[in-house]
Amino acid sequence: MNENENIVIFLDENGEKIEMEILDVINLEQGNYAFMTEMDGDNLYIFSVSDDESPVYDFVDDDTLQNKLFDMFKEKHKDEYEF
């Protein structure tokens, strides 16, 4: 993944661009999940990712799934990030 491949640009409800950096993608039986942060922020967001040629990102709003995925992310990156 080159530097520009890990940047996704979303448009908010006002049409303003939000640049997000993909930190990781975790694959589960139910699909692929991207972990992203805003370029100028500290919050972590989790999105499901379609397998299409042009991916579609949907925010994961299921608390149980979010917690499971976040636990997996923390375990995988415990030496890279401070949680």
pLDDT of residue 36 exceeding 90, the answer is: yes
Picking from 69, 35, 61, the residue whose alpha carbon sits closest to that of residue 49 is 35
Calpha distance 66→59 (Å, rounded): 10
Output 66 or 39, whichever has higher pLDDT: 66
Amino acid 3: pLDDT: 56
- The pLDDT of 1-30, averaged and rounded, is 87
pLDDT at 34: 96
Residue 28 clears pLDDT 50, i.e. is over it:
yes
